[in-house]
Amino acid sequence: MTPSAFPRRTFASLLAFAWLAAPLAASAADYPVKPIRFIVPYTPGGTTDLVARTVGQKVSEKLGQPVLIDNRGGAGGNIGMDAVAKAPADGYTIGFGAISTNALNPHIYKSMAFDPRKDFSAISLLGTSTIVLEVPAVSPIKSVADLVAAAKKQPGMPYATAGAGTSMNLAGVMFAQMTGTELTHVAYKGSGPGINDMLGNNIGLMFDNLPASLPHIQAGKLRALAVAGPRRSASLPNVPTMAEAGLAGYAIEPWFGVYGPAGMPAAVVQALNHAFNEALALPEVKDKLAQAGFSVRGSTAQELTALTQSEYQRLGEVARKAGMTAD
């Protein structure tokens, strides 16, 4: 090779690389140029569905492309989030992750198709919800104390949740541990079916995310006994926290966030992060979700990444201590 041949070949290689990279750079700069699929890993009618549709509409307006909600329930949210993890990392498929799918589930399911620490690009936190402990309005149980007394007389009392491995499932496990009672978990495929059985008095107890149950509580069809968070809900100011009801130290506050497949271009992550945070800051979004019992809270992508990692570790210890498992 002559002394001048190397520079010419190097220059040619650089030109070829630039030619190949140009479409990627352009696509990131022009993003989005087509509709965005927003996978909600739970059935319609629950908290995640409400938040995704409310915020997704505003994100669509910000980005100038439709945000299409795709409900894919099953396996405690794992089916939907697996679809996100395996989608092309181009920003046109994103998912509604949660404390369960991205921190708790890997510790309780026998097999997982994805690793939440490695297989996603964190985009933004969406906020936190409140878990409510509730019974049908016709139930003779009027308080947490009543429930504990009834559960001790009836070992194995069933309780409903939106699915195995959810934060509601964790809430039930912690309740049984702290009260010395034995409860039987009945996992539904989302809040809607569980609420329907509660309304039909087919099951007498449920731990649910408040946004899904709140309309029925306000209509007098369900009775809220307590909320699981560290403070009372502004939507139910007269309902005590679990701690106030006698379970000192009891507190669970589910969080939710937006994730894409691992390896998304930084510019695309940034565009989505800005759109979601701008949508979350809108007064009409804040007010609508607050009325449903959801506390809006955006974040940087880095903050959601850090939260996912720390919660993965924390909830792993909780799940092992509680002996939680799911099929």
Task: Grade residue 27 by pLDDT with cuts at 50, 70 and 90.
Answer: low
Average pLDDT score over residue span 291-318: 93
Q: What are the structure tokens assigned to 116, written together? A: 């939440």
Average pLDDT score over residue span 301-318: 93
Q: What is the per-residue pLDDT for 53?
A: 97
Q: What is the per-residue pLDDT for 322?
A: 77
Q: Of residues 14 and 108, which shows the higher confidence score?
A: 108
Sheet holding 222-227: strands in order across? 183-187, 157-161, 206-209, 131-136, 222-227
Q: What is the per-residue pLDDT for 81?
A: 97
Taken as a whole, the chain contains a residue count of: 327
41 CB neighbour count, 10 Å cutoff: 28
| Phi, then psi, of 133 in degrees rounded to 5 | -95, 125
**The pLDDT of residue 76 is above 90:** no
Q: Which amino acid is at 48?
A: T
Q: Percent of the chain, pLDDT > 90?
A: 72
**The pLDDT of residue 22 is above 90:** no
- Cis previous bond, 106, omega within 30: no
Q: What is the per-residue pLDDT for 43?
A: 81
Average pLDDT of the residues of the chain: 90
Task: Grade residue 11 by pLDDT with cuts at 50, 70 and 90.
Answer: very low
d(CA 173, CA 154): 16
Task: Grade residue 164 by pLDDT with cuts at 50, 70 and 90.
Answer: confident
* Cα angle for residues 230, 235, 237 (degrees, 5° grid): 65
d(CA 206, CA 65): 38
Q: What is the per-residue pLDDT for 208?
A: 95
**217-240 per-position pLDDT tens digit:** 999 999 999 999 999 998 999 999
Residue 183 neighbours by CB under 8 Å, 6+ apart: 151, 156, 157, 158, 159, 172, 175, 176, 205
- Spatial contact of 93 and 84, defined as CB atoms under 8 Å apart: yes
| Phi, then psi, of 290 in degrees rounded to 5 | -65, -40
* Least confident segment among 30-34, 130-134, 190-194, 247-251: 190-194
Tell me the whole-structure pTM to 2 decimals: 0.79
**265-294 per-position pLDDT tens digit:** 999 999 999 999 999 999 999 999 988 888
d(CA 244, CA 230): 10
Helix (H, G, I), strand (E, B) or coil at 86: coil
- Spatial contact of 171 and 159, defined as CB atoms under 8 Å apart: no
Average pLDDT score over residue span 12-40: 66
CA neighbor of 143 nearest in space, from 272, 216, 256, 246: 246
- Spatial contact of 223 and 139, defined as CB atoms under 8 Å apart: yes
Classify residue 240 by its DSSP letter.
P
Q: Of residues 212 and 12, which shows the higher confidence score?
A: 212
